[in-house]
């Protein structure tokens, strides 16, 4: 398809919620357990949150605990959601948990069960809600969580190397016999990615972003790869220790770094 500079969303503002009983509510819904609420924000796409609508406008609302320190511009719901196909999803922010004057920041008609990736027109408030505006009583919705954060793309000056890759890792158990190989697929294959960026100025915003990625070894984050053939985003984690090497030929004059990464899709 086409090339674009890669992008990341490292943090999830919903993960700041510690008291789900009081910081999460569901509009137009049957009672939702605390465990189901935690599944909505725990950062794992494999832990599913389900609820049953009682009327139109059903969906969760969130108290982040404080005004976000940086502008939030993205809402992501991973693929595999159920019950939302053909429905209209809207995202609002407000200055109070009672939502006296909500501001609409995104809207989309959901088609299929692919990842929902919404750009937000603004994102500077403490209170948030996303809702299925045309829900009806007894509708059952299931999602593998939701992420609210900041989409950050490398600048056009960033020297992304053309050897970036997009592949698969098989999850197969094999036993070899004299007459052949017996195999069983333990799980569906997961995507793999590699990325290398050269000539990165340590004073640049690109360096700051890639340094955040480098420090995200113990958690998953969202990645938009350079090739739009498989546009993503994909929930990934670092599969190997990332590398940062100084490559300027005369470092006494200036410093420039080559930063290398390998990612693997995370479906847990």
CA distance 107 to 77: 13
Element (H, E) at 21: helix 20-23
CA distance 78 to 222: 10
Angle at 22 between CA 16 and CA 25, to 5 degrees: 95
Q: What is the pLDDT of residue 151?
A: 98
Q: What is the pLDDT of residue 217?
A: 86
Q: What is the pLDDT of residue 175?
A: 87
In tens digits, the chain (268 residues) has pLDDT values of: 799 999 999 999 999 999 999 999 999 999 999 999 999 999 999 999 999 999 999 999 999 999 999 999 999 999 999 999 999 999 999 999 988 999 999 999 999 999 999 999 999 999 999 999 999 999 999 999 999 999 999 999 999 999 999 999 888 788 888 888 988 877 788 999 999 999 999 999 999 999 999 999 888 999 999 999 989 999 999 998 899 999 877 777 778 999 999 999 998 8
131 three-class SS: strand
User: Which of 220, 57, 196, 207 is closest to 132 using CA atoms?
Assistant: 57
Distant-in-sequence, close-in-space partners of 73: CB < 8 Å, separation ≥ 6: 119, 120, 123, 150, 151
Angle at 212 between CA 214 and CA 41, to 5 degrees: 105
Strands (E), the chain: 7-9, 24-27, 49-52, 59-63, 74-77, 88-94, 103-109, 116-119, 127-132, 140-143, 147-149, 152-153, 159-160, 165-177, 180-200, 221-224, 234-238, 243-246, 257-265
Strands (E), 178-253: 180-200, 221-224, 234-238, 243-246
């Amino acid at each position: 398809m086409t090339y674009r500079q890669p992008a990341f969303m490292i943090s999830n503002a919903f993960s700041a919620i510690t008291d789900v009983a009081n910081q999460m509510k569901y509009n137009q819904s049957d009672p939702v357990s605390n465990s189901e609420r935690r599944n909505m924000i725990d950062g794992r796409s494999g832990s599913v949150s389900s609820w049953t609508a009682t009327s139109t406008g059903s969906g969760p609302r969130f108290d982040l605990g404080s005004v976000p320190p940086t502008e939030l511009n993205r809402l992501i719901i991973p693929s595999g959601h159920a019950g939302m196909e053909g429905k209209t999803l809207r995202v609002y922010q407000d200055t109070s948990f009672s939502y006296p004057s909500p501001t609409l920041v995104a809207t989309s008609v959901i088609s299929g069960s692919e990842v929902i990736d919404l750009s937000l027109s603004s994102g500077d408030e403490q209170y948030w809600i996303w809702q299925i505006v045309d829900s009806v009583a007894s509708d059952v919705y299931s999602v593998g969580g939701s992420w609210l954060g900041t989409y950050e793309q490398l600048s056009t000056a960033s020297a992304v190397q053309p050897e970036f890759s997009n592949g698969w890792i098989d999850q197969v158990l094999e036993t070899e016999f004299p007459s052949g190989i017996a195999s069983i697929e333990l799980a569906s294959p997961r995507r793999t990615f590699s990325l290398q960026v050269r000539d990165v100025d340590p004073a640049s915003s690109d360096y700051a972003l890639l340094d955040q990625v480098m420090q995200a070894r113990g958690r998953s984050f969202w990645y938009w790869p350079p090739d739009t053939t498989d546009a993503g985003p994909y929930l990934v984690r670092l599969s190997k220790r990332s590398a940062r090497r100084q490559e300027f030929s005369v470092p006494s004059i200036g410093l420039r770094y080559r930063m290398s990464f390998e990612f693997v899709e995370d479906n847990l």
